[in-house]
């Protein structure tokens, strides 16, 4: 289900004005994959699976500790740990990545931006979007009897059918969630609210994504 949202990465990158280092190999510019300015790095599909699932598994383990040691209810523990770990790790990861130039943001909306107007600027609302996504992944990973599992169990007559229906349900859920967190980024893009501009050019010899 994590791999199923790769098709949205190109439009998402386009909406938040992110540009990747030119040395990265690119995927072919097919359909939505071509929306990323100067191309989507080939590492992204595998990166999605590793990034989202690793953080979800770690957050799920932290949630278990919150339940056993502090007496939290499991759903709340999963959501809280998923969001917190997702936000903190993503912001630290983005801080390092923009500092060393793995990728950079050409524009950002005023207010929720770190290091505005510099090569190292990055929007906090990107971290919020990713944190919400990882929060949902954490809930799906850590809750063995969630709504999707129950829905699949009620409609399946064999374990294989239940597994396939669960997978389909997870794919639908994560795509809907990702579309919901993508919507605010798209609104700021089409409304021309991204008025904080990084220096030209983010990478030598490569024009920045136009406004």
pTM of the entire predicted model: 0.91
What is the spatial distance between Cα 207 and Cα 211, in angstroms, rounded to a whole number? Answer: 12
pLDDT band for position 145 (50/70/90)? confident
**Residue percentage of the chain with pLDDT more than 90:** 68
Per-residue tokens: 186: 């798209």
**Residue percentage of the chain with pLDDT more than 70:** 100
In which residue are the tokens 């993508």 written?
182
pLDDT band for position 72 (50/70/90)? very high
> What pLDDT sits at residue 143?
84
Q: What's the average model confidence in pLDDT over 177-193? A: 94
> What pLDDT sits at residue 151?
87
What is the spatial distance between Cα 132 and Cα 209, in angstroms, rounded to a whole number? Answer: 26
Per-residue tokens: 84: 């917190």
What is the spatial distance between Cα 81 and Cα 87, in angstroms, rounded to a whole number? Answer: 10
| CB atoms near residue 142 (< 10 Å) | 24
> What pLDDT sits at residue 102?
94
Q: Quick one: DSSP state of residue 3?
A: G
In which residue are the tokens 């920045």 written?
208
What is the spatial distance between Cα 29 and Cα 173, in angstroms, rounded to a whole number? Answer: 26
Q: What's the average model confidence in pLDDT over 129-137? A: 94
pLDDT band for position 77 (50/70/90)? very high
Q: What's the average model confidence in pLDDT over 60-88? A: 95
Q: Checking phi first, is residue 171 left (phi over 0); if not, alpha (psi -120 to 50) or beta?
A: alpha
Tell me the per-residue pLDDT of 9-30, one tens digit each, with 9 for 90 and over.
999 999 999 999 999 999 998 8
> What pLDDT sits at residue 135?
95
**Residue 182: pLDDT above 80?**
yes
> What pLDDT sits at residue 3?
81
């Amino acid at each position: 289900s994590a791999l199923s949202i790769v098709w949205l990465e190109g439009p998402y990158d386009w909406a938040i004005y992110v540009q990747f280092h030119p040395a990265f190999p690119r995927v072919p510019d097919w359909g939505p994959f071509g929306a990323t300015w100067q191309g989507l790095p080939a590492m992204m599909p595998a990166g999605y699976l590793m990034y989202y699932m690793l953080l979800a598994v770690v957050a799920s383990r932290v949630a278990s500790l919150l339940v056993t040691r502090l007496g939290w209810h499991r759903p709340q523990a999963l959501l809280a740990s998923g969001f917190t770990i997702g936000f903190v790790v993503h912001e630290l990861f983005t801080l390092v990545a923009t500092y060393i130039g793995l990728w950079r943001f050409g524009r950002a909306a005023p207010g929720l931006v770190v290091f505005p107007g510099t090569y190292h600027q990055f929007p906090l609302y990107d971290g919020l979007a990713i944190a919400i996504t990882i929060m949902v992944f954490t809930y799906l990973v850590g809750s063995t009897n969630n709504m999707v599992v129950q829905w699949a169990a009620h409609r399946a007559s064999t374990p294989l059918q239940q597994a396939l229906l669960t997978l389909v349900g997870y794919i639908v859920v994560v795509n809907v969630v990702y579309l919901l967190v993508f919507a605010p980024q798209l609104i700021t893009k089409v409304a021309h609210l991204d008025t904080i501009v990084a220096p030209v050019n983010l990478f030598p010899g490569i024009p920045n994504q136009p406004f």
